[in-house]
Structure 1
Amino acid sequence: MKAVIMAGGEGSRLRPLTCALPKPMVPIVNRPCMEYIVNLLRRHGIRDIAVTLQYLPEEIRSYFGDGGDFGVNLVYFTEDTPLGTAGSVKNAASFLDETFIVISGDALTDCQLEKAAAFHRERKALATLVLTSVPCPLEYGVVIADREGRITRFLEKPGWGEVFSDTVNTGIYILEPEILDYIEENRMVDFSKDLYPRLLAEEMGLYAFVMEDYWCDIGNVEQYLQAQFDILEKKGILLPLPGTEIRPGVWVGRNTRIDPAAKTIPPVVIGDDCSVGPGARVGPAVVLGKGVRVGRMASLKRSVIWDHAWIGERAELRGAIVGKGGRVLSGARLFEGAVVGDRTVIGEDSELKAGVKVWPGKWVEKGARLSNSLVWGNCGRARIFGSKGITGELFTEITPDFACRIGMAAGSGVKASGRFAIGSDGQPDTLMIKNAVLSGLMSTGLQVIDLGKVTFPVIRYGVRAFDLKGGLHICRRGRGKISIRFLNQCGAEYSRDEQRKVEGLLGREEYRLTSPEAVLPVEYLPDAARSYINYLLGFFDRELTGRSRIKIVIDYDPDRLGSLVADLFDALGCEVITLATPRNQDRTFAEMLKTAELFGDVVRVEGADFGAVLDAGGEEVIIVDEKGRIIGEEALDALLSLIVLNANNRRTVLALPVTVPESVVEMARDRGAEVKRTKTAPWALMQAFLDEDVLVSQRRCPQFLLYGDALAVLASLVEFLAQEGKPLSQVLMEMPGFTTVRKNVEVGWDAKGKVLRRLVEDVGERRLDTDEGIKVQHPEGWALVLPDADEPLCRVYCEAFNQEVAESLSEMYVQKIRDLCGDGRASD
């Protein structure tokens, strides 16, 4: 059997460590990562090895040569342009005339390859993917297979709502030469995105082998450090350590001098030609490369120091990495996740806070304090984006310097000649963050259009109306938190791919900065809110609403919504009774519900047609009918669907999220509509609402108009009641009935993948839908388990014939999840 080592990766998420080094050459306990893979193949009797190269190929060629020094025969295949994972293997087709293994040169594993090969031969597979289980599957290809190992479904880098297992693709494949016939020459082809979906669709022999051995993807700084610690602490992988073990857990290379007054705390690996000064403390979990000098009284814990770096007197390193030839001068302090690039100097008594990265060849002056507010990587979040943009606490997670970099990252992802909107809710703290974001946007050469103090629906309208390339909105999100929301040129929230692009630019700190003379002045458009109201009014029959004189009681924030509410409902001819909330009162949805519970009496006493409680930003709304009863979320979804159907023709295409009850779907189909199920994420919903077939069929009252826009919802309800001539309570009674239950179950971030996989395994013969979360059909109804993108919990949705059955079904899934987690607790 032959092998292919894929060694063309740039390792962009590991920068600045990989600025001048290909990812497979990044040292793991003083040996290049790829060397461990070469030794693994040799131990399994595989000596004929192709190596695919693309980024800095000479670094790999010069180190490994023809492979003779490592007991193997290496043949190199270099890509002139990137060809993708499958394309790079196709480039080595002339070498591959028998069953072969494909393995990444930048992952660490002790996979029992012979077991995987035996499995492959037994199944007579065309391709066998080696899988492993991971706690957080978001950055990998998730795979699910049947009992025989035949792959039935996989998804590359899913969101939590798309996760259906915790078994992921390791990038280790056993393939037959015939598979090369499916790969076009000199074309960008990826195994996971292109080739395997095609093979799956054609029902070719695509199998999965789940290994129980150690595997670690050296994908980012945290994983890179963890791989070192796993080897040192012998957690799951046993590899020979370089040097001589002078005492248990302390490995020292040749010509190394350790002062008698220094202390080494195992496990520690110290390379050749090093020196450790008096009073220094090295360890636990420290790796020193070749020629490293550690000064007097320095203290190093859980850190990795590359060749020829110097650590000065009294320097303190905690979970840090210092690149080749780096200099950390006396008294400097580096904290968890801090990275110092090659040949960079960190000045005396300076400080690099957690997560700070300094690129190669830089000089940090004496006493400087470099802080990085990108704290998510240090608290276990897989992504900085939540369900609605980037949200965090002011001055801890969202600070002005971080906001500026957000602006630079967002601007760098847009063409420099583009016009880009920005706006905020006008509060002092959000204005501060807005100005920081604005600076970042301007630095990338964009023409920034400042819409001023506006709500999110207004800026969404502005992006579309003024033909802009996108927009950012900064607002408060609950007490003490700030939210930065992103809109693309369609006026939809950033998709997951667009989010990843921003995260990648932030992580790599690769910003497109314009020249000083090319910085453009800000253009101000202060009348966007008035234009937005005129736009809304264009969808409704103002003569009809004016004759009906619908009476409404509204609770809202007058500071942020006052002029919008007054202008809209005056134009519609409504009689509005205002119950204004205290200014700048940022209520949660739960607090809005409590207000609505007390609100019903006012609606009844005033004889209003309905009442509404709005959030401060004009996005969320709770509606109370004329009898003072709160309309639940599912009932409101059904009502809005009915409004859209009534306003348009019978060939309406309706986009409904997977959480909407089946009775609403049946209602739509009974009225001649086509229903498209969509995911619940805001970006996915807006994307579905903007699909051409949906838009064309909804010219009168489109779903995109109503989504996340409380004022548009209220205006559409006013017109609907005017048309129907019935009380709202009667309309609700005439709608199809449904019984739904929602519960939340606490599930740790690391347990979500496991929980979903186990639930899938327990489905049996019942119909299963994994488009988002896990939706299981039962004879008496359905249950949906949906991982939350922002919180460590899963949401359980159930619909059944009656309340008792729905409660029973939901409790069954709640208990299953609790059992899998051990201590999960449910709440309504």
Structure 2
Amino acid sequence: MKAVIMAGGKGTRLKPMTCNLPKPMVPILNKPVMEYSIELLKQYGITDIGVTLAYMPASIMDYFGNGEKWGVNLYYFIEETPMGTGGSIKNAEDFIDGTFIIISGDALTDINIQKAVDYHHRKHSKATLVLRSEETPIDYGVVITNKAGKIMRFLEKPSWGEVFSNTINTGIYILEPEALDYYKKGDVFDFSKDLFPKLLADQVPMFGYVMEEYWCDIGDLRSYRQTHFDILEGKVSLPLKSKEVRKGIWIGEGTVLEEGVNLQPPVYIGSNSTIKNNTELIGPAIIGENCFVGERTTIKKSILWNHANIDQDVSLRGAVLCSQTNIKSMTKILENVVIGEATVVGNGAVIKPEVKIWPHKRIEENTIVNQNLIWGTKISKTLFGYRNISGEINIELSPEFAAKLGAAFSSALKDRSHIIVSSDGSNEGRLIQNAIIAGIASTGAQVMELRESLLPMTRFAVRYYEADGGIHIRTNSNVNTGSIEFIDHSGSNISRSLEREIENLFSRDEFKRCNGDQVRRPIEVINFNSIFLREGLKKLQNQHQIKQSGSRLIITSLSIGVLSVAESFLKDMGCQVKVLYPYGRHMESEAMFSALVEEINNTQEAIGVFFSHCGEEIVLVDEAGREIGEEKYNILATQMLLKEGKTSKIIHPYISSRIIDQLAKNHGVELVRTKSDPASIMSEMLKDYVRPQTPDQFILRFNGIWAIGRIIDFLAAQGTKLSTIADQIPEHYFMKKEIPCSWQDKGRVMKEMILSHQADNIELFEGIKIDKRDGWALILPDSERPLVNIYSEGFSQEYAEELSTVFSERIKNLISHSDKSY
């Protein structure tokens, strides 16, 4: 049997460790990670090994040669241009002559290869994917199998709504040569995106083997460090070069430990290193070969590559030092710092947490380094929440962070883009806005600046000016928090793929940079709200009737800015408007809404409108004081559009009521179901409309100020009241429940729910939807919080509650009785 090691990875998220070497050459306990893959294959008698190369191939070929040192035969296949995971293996097709195994050169595992191969043959499989249970599977490809292990479906880097299992694709495959017959040599294709879906569609036998041994994709600094610690804690069965002289202490040949050295396990020291007097190594700690550590130095939870030189009285805390680094005395290097090779850090310098320093740099003595030597500080790999980036002003959302974020967003767009940047006008909002503008300007893009704006206004500005994208900053001074919303060229929230691209650019510090003479001065748009109000009024067809009817409204919101614009708009329409302003610094939404309902009941004959803080959503209160909540409002808005007869298609999220299906059918219009995240809904609503046109359904759902105008316009045309329209909403019984569930349990719970309901009518479009004759239930993991959402709808309130209770109890039972076999 032969093997192919895929070793073309760049390891961009591991920079600066991978600035001068490819990812498979990154050392784990002083050996390249790929070396462990070769040793594993040799252990199971696989000695003919092909190696696919792309990035810096010479460094791999020079180190491993023909493989003779390891008792194997290595054959190299170099990609001149990227060919994808499948294309790179197809490039080595002449080497393959039977069943073969594919393994990654930049992941660490001690898998029992023989057991996996036996499973492959026993199942008569053409393609066997090695799977592994993962607590948080969203960063991997999720694979769904039936009880026999046959692959039914897989998803590449899913959202939480698509996590139907906790078994992930490790990238280890056992294939028969004919599985590659779908493509020709030289074709560009991936296994997960291209080949495997074709095999699945053609019902080619394809199975998933769930491994029980260790596996870790060394994709970022966290996993890189954790892999070292896992090895020292005995979680991985690997041959170690250094000798374990006592429990948890490994010392290489020729290494000298002088008097007073304190070793607190686990500690691993390579060969020919010197540890001077009164030094303290607090595990997990790894010292490379030919290293020098000076007197009274303390090293804790850190990794030193070969040939690192550390002077006396140095303190290392959770750092990684690459080869040939030279750290002078009295230096302090703190958590999650990475220092590139051959860098010199001067006496008394302090390197603050999370800093990355690229290779061959020199830090002067007594310098305090609190940002990357190149662009800025390192923030979490995952920036985006459910729909935006949020955090504390001047802490998570600092000006440095914002400038870097602006540069990343602009770098992800086309060259010299036009970008709208707005804020709510608060001092803290302007602070972040100015920083973002500076970051964008540094890339050569043109900024159009709105000083005081609302999120719907900014969306409209992007469409009105036909910009390439937009950013809106909204703050909440009560709790010193803010959010940054990103908008694409259509006015929609950006896609998840663009979010990932921004995150990658941000984490790698890879930004476009223009020359100084190419920096473009921001264009300040003065009083854009007047354009917003004017264009909103153009949407109305019955202003004369509105003025004649004397429509009365009472409006409220926690945002003074929203109330100000809404009041102007409604008065311009000819409405009588009373505004309930928030009172007290820490006013809550519930209290404001209760005050609104009370005012409606006292006044009567008025409509109440509660605007969300961003101005996108509204909650209505009819003249009878009845709340028209989110689900009921969506049905009301749909009825309104269908009754006007101006649309041939309506868009609704997958989780909305079945009443929508019946309404669409009754009016002969197409219903398109989308995923429930705002970006999916918005992009579907906007995709058929040429800018600056904005469809009514988008307005009714995502532009609260224009939406209430459209509703008043509709009521005036019909000569009716909101309460009358509300009475016409079909009865529906809809429930939502939240069940606490830890992140590590989510994937497992979803997998077990699918397995236990295979006999039922289930859909896996978003979450798990289980259809019953008289209703349905949907189990959907929350993307931002450790919980699972359960939606249910039935022919009666009692049945909706019954479905909700049944599935809530099942979820709770699965959480409390964790089956470790999954």
Please, what TM-score do these two structures have when normalized by structure 1?
A: 0.94
Unaligned 5+ segments in structure 2 are: none
Letter in 2 for 1:406: L
Partner residue, 1:672 = 668
Equivalents in 2 of 1:480, 1:820: separation in Å?
Answer: 39
- 1:449-468 CA-partner distances (Å, limit 9, x unpaired): 11211011111111111111
The 5-angstrom pairing of residues 375-386 of structure 1 reads 377=380, 383-386=382-385
Partner residue, 2:602 = 605
Query: Do residues 686 (structure 1) and 682 (structure 2) align?
Result: yes
Query: Do residues 719 (structure 1) and 713 (structure 2) align?
Result: yes
Equivalents in 2 of 1:352, 1:358: separation in Å?
Answer: 9
Cα gap change, 1:45 to 1:558, in 2 (>3 Å): closer
Equivalents in 2 of 1:672, 1:699: separation in Å?
Answer: 24
The farther-off stretch of 415-424 and 133-142 is 415-424
**Alpha-carbon contact 1:643-1:716 (below 8 Å) kept:** no
Query: Do residues 708 (structure 1) and 702 (structure 2) align?
Result: yes
Partner residue, 2:524 = 524
**Alpha-carbon contact 1:596-1:624 (below 8 Å) kept:** no
Partner residue, 2:757 = 763
Q: What secondary structure, in the 3-state scheme, does the structure 1 residue paired with 2:555 have?
A: strand
Equivalents in 2 of 1:240, 1:304: separation in Å?
Answer: 19
Partner residue, 1:173 = 173
The 5-angstrom pairing of residues 629-644 of structure 1 reads 629-644=626-641
Query: Do residues 749 (structure 1) and 749 (structure 2) align?
Result: no
Q: What secondary structure, in the 3-state scheme, does the structure 2 residue paired with 1:118 have?
A: helix
Partner residue, 2:338 = 339
The 5-angstrom pairing of residues 427-466 of structure 1 reads 427-466=426-465
Q: What secondary structure, in the 3-state scheme, does the structure 1 residue paired with 2:731 have?
A: coil
Q: What secondary structure, in the 3-state scheme, does the structure 2 residue paired with 1:808 have?
A: helix
RMSD: 2.1
**Alpha-carbon contact 1:648-1:701 (below 8 Å) kept:** no
Partner residue, 1:114 = 114
Partner residue, 1:388 = 387
Cα gap change, 1:558 to 1:765, in 2 (>3 Å): closer
Partner residue, 2:91 = 91
The farther-off stretch of 106-115 and 566-575 is 566-575
Query: Do residues 472 (structure 1) and 471 (structure 2) align?
Result: yes
Letter in 2 for 1:227: T
Query: Do residues 412 (structure 1) and 411 (structure 2) align?
Result: yes
Equivalents in 2 of 1:18, 1:375: separation in Å?
Answer: 16
- 1:647-694 CA-partner distances (Å, limit 9, x unpaired): 334x621111112111222122212121111111111111111232xx
Partner residue, 1:575 = 576
The 5-angstrom pairing of residues 617-656 of structure 1 reads 617-649=614-646, 652-656=648-652
The 5-angstrom pairing of residues 352-391 of structure 1 reads 352-365=351-364, 366-371=366-371, 377=380, 383-391=382-390
Equivalents in 2 of 1:203, 1:398: separation in Å?
Answer: 50
- 1:6-35 CA-partner distances (Å, limit 9, x unpaired): 000101111111111111111111111111
Query: Do residues 125 (structure 1) and 122 (structure 2) align?
Result: no
The farther-off stretch of 178-187 and 633-642 is 178-187
**Alpha-carbon contact 1:3-1:103 (below 8 Å) kept:** yes
Partner residue, 2:590 = 593
**Alpha-carbon contact 2:371-2:377 (below 8 Å) kept:** no
Equivalents in 2 of 1:320, 1:576: separation in Å?
Answer: 61
Letter in 2 for 1:390: I
- 1:135-169 CA-partner distances (Å, limit 9, x unpaired): 11111100001122221111100111221111010
- 1:475-500 CA-partner distances (Å, limit 9, x unpaired): 11572211111111121111110000
Alpha-carbon deviation of 1:700? 8.9
Partner residue, 1:565 = 566
Letter in 2 for 1:105: G
- 1:30-77 CA-partner distances (Å, limit 9, x unpaired): 111111111111111111110000000011101111111111111000
Equivalents in 2 of 1:418, 1:238: separation in Å?
Answer: 52
Letter in 1 for 2:354: G
Letter in 2 for 1:566: E
**Alpha-carbon contact 2:558-2:589 (below 8 Å) kept:** no
Equivalents in 1 of 2:695, 2:440: separation in Å?
Answer: 35
Cα gap change, 1:526 to 1:38, in 2 (>3 Å): same
Cα gap change, 1:90 to 1:631, in 2 (>3 Å): same
Alpha-carbon deviation of 1:374? 6.8
Partner residue, 1:294 = 293
Query: Do residues 505 (structure 1) and 471 (structure 2) align?
Result: no
Alpha-carbon deviation of 1:772? 1.4
Equivalents in 2 of 1:186, 1:546: separation in Å?
Answer: 70
- 1:382-430 CA-partner distances (Å, limit 9, x unpaired): 7220112111122332111111111111121123321111010011111
The 5-angstrom pairing of residues 487-498 of structure 1 reads 487-498=487-498
Equivalents in 2 of 1:256, 1:66: separation in Å?
Answer: 31
The farther-off stretch of 255-264 and 67-76 is 255-264
- 1:325-367 CA-partner distances (Å, limit 9, x unpaired): 1233323333332211112233333333332212112223323
Query: Deviating runs (4+, > 6 A) in structure 1?
Result: 372-376
**Alpha-carbon contact 1:644-1:701 (below 8 Å) kept:** no
Equivalents in 2 of 1:130, 1:244: separation in Å?
Answer: 32
The 5-angstrom pairing of residues 80-229 of structure 1 reads 80-229=80-229
Partner residue, 2:809 = 815
Equivalents in 1 of 2:128, 2:480: separation in Å?
Answer: 50
Q: What secondary structure, in the 3-state scheme, does the structure 2 residue paired with 1:500 have?
A: helix
**Alpha-carbon contact 2:608-2:620 (below 8 Å) kept:** yes
**Alpha-carbon contact 1:664-1:736 (below 8 Å) kept:** no
Letter in 2 for 1:733: D
Query: Do residues 73 (structure 1) and 73 (structure 2) align?
Result: yes
Alpha-carbon deviation of 1:562? 4.6
Q: What secondary structure, in the 3-state scheme, does the structure 1 residue paired with 2:451 have?
A: strand
Letter in 2 for 1:612: V
Letter in 2 for 1:601: E
Equivalents in 1 of 2:221, 2:614: separation in Å?
Answer: 38
Query: Do residues 803 (structure 1) and 790 (structure 2) align?
Result: no
Partner residue, 2:781 = 787
Equivalents in 1 of 2:746, 2:410: separation in Å?
Answer: 34
Please, what TM-score do these two structures have when normalized by structure 2?
A: 0.95
Q: What secondary structure, in the 3-state scheme, does the structure 1 residue paired with 2:504 have?
A: helix
Q: What secondary structure, in the 3-state scheme, does the structure 1 residue paired with 2:181 have?
A: helix
**Alpha-carbon contact 2:130-2:209 (below 8 Å) kept:** yes
Letter in 1 for 2:687: D
Alpha-carbon deviation of 1:521? 0.8
Letter in 1 for 2:776: W
Cα gap change, 1:23 to 1:375, in 2 (>3 Å): closer
The farther-off stretch of 758-767 and 47-56 is 758-767
Q: What secondary structure, in the 3-state scheme, does the structure 2 residue paired with 1:223 have?
A: helix
Letter in 2 for 1:572: M
Equivalents in 2 of 1:654, 1:554: separation in Å?
Answer: 28
Letter in 2 for 1:636: Y
Cα gap change, 1:777 to 1:66, in 2 (>3 Å): same
Alpha-carbon deviation of 1:471? 1.1
Alpha-carbon deviation of 1:823? 11
Equivalents in 2 of 1:597, 1:575: separation in Å?
Answer: 21
- 1:171-215 CA-partner distances (Å, limit 9, x unpaired): 011111112221233232111111111222222222211111111
Q: What secondary structure, in the 3-state scheme, does the structure 2 residue paired with 1:182 have?
A: coil
Letter in 1 for 2:668: G
**Alpha-carbon contact 2:370-2:377 (below 8 Å) kept:** no
Alpha-carbon deviation of 1:375? 7.8
Alpha-carbon deviation of 1:712? 2.1
Unaligned 5+ segments in structure 1 are: none
Alpha-carbon deviation of 1:376? 6.4
Equivalents in 1 of 2:695, 2:550: separation in Å?
Answer: 21
Equivalents in 2 of 1:518, 1:688: separation in Å?
Answer: 36
Query: Do residues 662 (structure 1) and 661 (structure 2) align?
Result: no
